[in-house]
């Protein structure tokens, strides 16, 4: 592989290049999901204060934000393949360090570094996907890429099933997957694309002016969704679940988040998107109340209720982006989507720490009290906004696209960013 830009190869050649890149992304997600579960699980089993578990989750989100903003500076001097190789080595070393020390402050620092590197690696992978994908296949490739990524997340959350004690072996396995991710990328013959551009963003004032509900929704999803994934192991240990049950619970939550996107997205193309977001958030309220108030639930119904509750919250993000696109003018869609991702990142940076504080004060149910409170705040704001503006007619809307916030370059892969015709800069909804 070279670091020079070349013409695109034949369709068959492009297909195999994309398969190699997607395999690398899939393997990265396995490693990242395994580490994201292993860190809070190990800290909870070791009896670390909830504050440290929240700090570790927040540090990862802060690092992710920093990596999104700094990735272009990392890639430009040395090219994509060298940058990816260096980052893969750093990830492997960082993950091994978790197995060599039990200092909670060092673990927080390592999660910060892990977040930075994780974002930069996915910027590189997504730059290749964006460069190799023909314009006519962008929507389909976006869907395939998201399914591969989410499948990797689910499998990564299940990796602790192979290691009953959730000890150093789990960190070693995660480190091995980080190294394995380098193989298909390094062997890939696809030429390096142009260096990733700097992140285009809108001012907070302009962003809020386009779609206030989308702005608040993305912050809400960061606050609640990030907390759910990072503090869930603490909840599981607190109610007496074993490592296997916690791993299955985490994987079920990821699966629920994947499944709930499509029916809610389909519905949002036909109804007021704000009403659909309200309904999704209310599933989080109902599910959160059930879990918080009904102690001693068997693991299967508990997992299903939590999966629906968290899945409802997670589904709000992509609907919020679609809602904002409905009111964005031509040429602003990439900046709009990137800005909403950064708003999500701010919420994700605060969410684990706030949720951990709730668990510290209220016990394990505090995680879901946190989810219920923020969901109700969002629902109240969205209902008020519905009284201020009418929705866009369905025929004037952009179509829904499943756009997770954890894929840093997804705004450039989004087919809506390329095909959107000139539209009016309508009043905020």
Above 50 in pLDDT, residue 3?
A: no
Asked if residues 226 and 351 have their Cβ atoms less than 8 Å apart, the reply is yes
Query: Is residue 27 in a domain?
Result: yes
Whether residue 420 lies inside any domain: the answer is no
Nearest to 218 by CA among 336, 390, 70: 336
**Top-confidence residue, 111 or 392:** 111
245 and 285 fall within a common domain: yes
- Among residues 189, 212, 231, the one where a domain terminates is 189
| Local confidence band at 423 (pLDDT 50, 70, 90 cut-offs) | very low
pLDDT(26) > 50: yes
Q: Which residues 6+ apart lie within 8 Å of 70 measured at CB?
A: 116, 120
Residues 19 and 129 in one domain: yes
pLDDT tens for 286-335 read: 999 999 998 778 889 999 999 999 999 999 998 998 888 887 765 667 77
Domain membership flag for residue 423: no
Whether 10 shows a pLDDT value over 60: the answer reads: no
Best CA proximity match to 232, nearest among 128, 139, 124, 305: 305
- Please tell me whether residues 247 and 286 are part of one structural domain: yes
Regarding pTM above 0.75, the answer is yes
Structural domain contains residue 236: yes
CATH number of the domain residue 165 falls in: 1.20.1250.20
Residues 355 and 257 in one domain: yes
C-alpha 184/C-alpha 179 separation (Å) is: 10
Residue in 238, 258, 355, 242 with CA at minimum distance from that of residue 307:
258
SS3 9: coil
Packing angle, helices 168-180 and 80-100, rounded to 10: 170
pLDDT (0 to 100) of residue 310: 93
User: Does residue 419 lie within any of the structural domains?
Assistant: no
**Structure confidence by residue, pLDDT tens digits, 130-139:** 777 776 676 6
Which residue would you say has higher pLDDT here, 218 or 187? 218
Reference 24, options 256, 131, 179, 229; nearest CA is 179
- 124 lies in the same domain as 207: no
Tell me the pLDDT band of 336, cut-offs 50, 70 and 90.
confident
Q: Is 24 exposed, middle or buried (0-12, 13-18, 19+ CB in 10 A)?
A: buried
279 with 379, same domain? yes
H-state helical runs in 46-103: 50-78, 80-100
pLDDT, position 348? 95
Write out pLDDT tens, residues 138-188.
667 777 888 888 889 899 988 877 776 667 888 999 999 999 988 888 887
pLDDT, position 419: 42
The 10s digit of each residue's pLDDT in 94-118 is 999 998 988 999 999 999 999 999 9
For residues 150 and 28, state if they share a domain.
yes
**Domain assignment of residue 414, yes or no:** no
Cα–Cα distance measured from residue 334 to residue 57, given in angstroms and rounded to the nearest whole number: 27
Question: What confidence score (pLDDT) does residue 197 get?
Answer: 64
DSSP per residue over 232-258, as a string? Answer: HHHHHHHTT--HHHHHHHHHHHHHHHH
* Same domain flag for 283 and 352: yes
Distance of alpha carbon 214 from its chain centroid, rounded?
17
CB distance 407 to 335 below 8 Å? no
Predicted local confidence at residue 190, as pLDDT? 67
Q: Which residue has the tokens 């977001």?
A: 277
Q: What is the pLDDT at residue 261?
A: 82
Give me the mean pLDDT over the 236-249 stretch. Answer: 90
Q: Which of 15-19, 259-263, 375-379, 417-421 has the highest mean pLDDT?
A: 375-379
Q: Do 120 and 256 belong together in one domain? A: no
Look at residue 412 in the predicted model and tell me its pLDDT.
66
pLDDT tens digit sequence for 32-89 = 999 999 999 999 999 999 999 999 999 999 999 998 888 878 888 888 788 888 998 8
Give the Cα separation of 243 and 332 in Å (integer).
46
pLDDT at 126: 79
Quote the number of domains for the chain: 2
Let me know if 293 is exposed, middle or buried by CB neighbors in 10 A (0-12, 13-18, 19+): exposed
Q: Tell me the backbone φ, ψ of residue 400, rounded to 5 degrees.
A: -70, 140
Q: How far apart are CA 206 and CA 96, in angstroms?
A: 43
pLDDT given at position 90: 93
Same domain, 300 and 363: yes
What is the spatial distance between Cα 181 and Cα 183, in angstroms, rounded to a whole number? Answer: 6
Could you say which of 189, 220, 241 is where a domain stops? 189
Q: What is the distance between the alpha carbons of residues 15 and 20, in angstroms, rounded to a whole number? A: 9
Residue 143 domain-assigned (yes or no): yes
Residue 131 and residue 213 in one domain: no
415 vs 373, residue with greater confidence: 373
Would you place residue 424 in the very low, low, confident or very high pLDDT band (cuts 50, 70, 90)? very low
User: Does the pLDDT at position 128 exceed 60?
Assistant: yes
Q: Which pLDDT band holds residue 346 (cuts at 50, 70, 90)? A: very high
Residue 132 lies in a domain: yes
State the residue range of the domain holding 184.
10-189
Check if the beta carbon of residue 54 is closer than 8 Å to that of residue 230.
yes
Same domain (yes/no): 117, 231? no
């Amino acid at each position: 592989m070279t670091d020079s830009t070349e013409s695109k190869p034949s369709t068959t050649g492009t297909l195999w290049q994309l398969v190699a890149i997607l395999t690398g992304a899939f393997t990265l997600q396995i490693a990242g999901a395994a580490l994201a579960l292993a860190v809070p699980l190990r800290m909870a089993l070791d009896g670390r204060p909830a504050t440290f578990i929240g700090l570790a989750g927040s540090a990862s989100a802060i690092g992710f934000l920093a990596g999104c903003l700094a990735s272009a500076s990392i890639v430009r001097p040395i090219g994509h393949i060298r940058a990816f190789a260096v980052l893969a080595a750093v990830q492997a070393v960082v993950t091994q360090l978790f197995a060599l020390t039990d200092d909670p402050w060092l673990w927080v620092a390592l999660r910060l570094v892990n977040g930075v590197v994780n974002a930069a690696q996915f910027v590189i992978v997504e730059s290749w996907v964006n460069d190799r994908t023909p314009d006519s296949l962008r929507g389909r490739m976006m869907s395939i890429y998201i399914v591969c990524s989410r499948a990797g997340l689910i499998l990564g959350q299940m990796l602790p099933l192979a290691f009953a004690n959730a000890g150093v072996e789990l960190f070693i396995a995660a480190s091995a997957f980080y190294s394995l991710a380098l193989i298909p990328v390094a062997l890939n013959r696809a030429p390096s694309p142009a260096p990733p551009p700097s992140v285009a963003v809108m001012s907070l004032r302009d962003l809020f002016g386009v779609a206030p509900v989308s702005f608040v929704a993305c912050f809400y999803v960061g606050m609640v969704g990030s907390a759910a994934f990072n503090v869930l192991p603490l909840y599981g240990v607190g109610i007496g679940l074993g490592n296997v049950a916690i791993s299955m619970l985490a994987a079920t939550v990821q699966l629920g988040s994947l499944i709930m996107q499509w029916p809610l997205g389909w519905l949002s193309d036909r109804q007021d998107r704000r009403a659909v977001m309200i309904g999704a958030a209310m599933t989080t309220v109902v599910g959160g109340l059930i879990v918080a108030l009904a102690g001693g639930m068997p693991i299967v119904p508990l997992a299903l209720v939590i999966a629906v509750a968290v899945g409802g919250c997670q589904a709000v993000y992509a609907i919020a982006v679609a809602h904002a696109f409905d009111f964005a003018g031509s040429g602003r869609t990439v900046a709009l989507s990137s800005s909403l991702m950064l708003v999500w990142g701010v919420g994700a940076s605060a969410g684990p720490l706030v949720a951990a504080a709730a668990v510290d004060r209220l016990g394990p149910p505090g995680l879901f009290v946190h989810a219920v409170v923020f969901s109700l705040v969002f629902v109240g704001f969205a209902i008020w906004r519905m009284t201020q503006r009418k929705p866009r007619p369905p025929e004037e809307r952009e179509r829904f696209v499943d756009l997770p916030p954890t894929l840093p370059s997804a705004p450039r892969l989004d087919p809506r960013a390329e095909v959107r015709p000139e539209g009016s800069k309508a009043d905020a909804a």
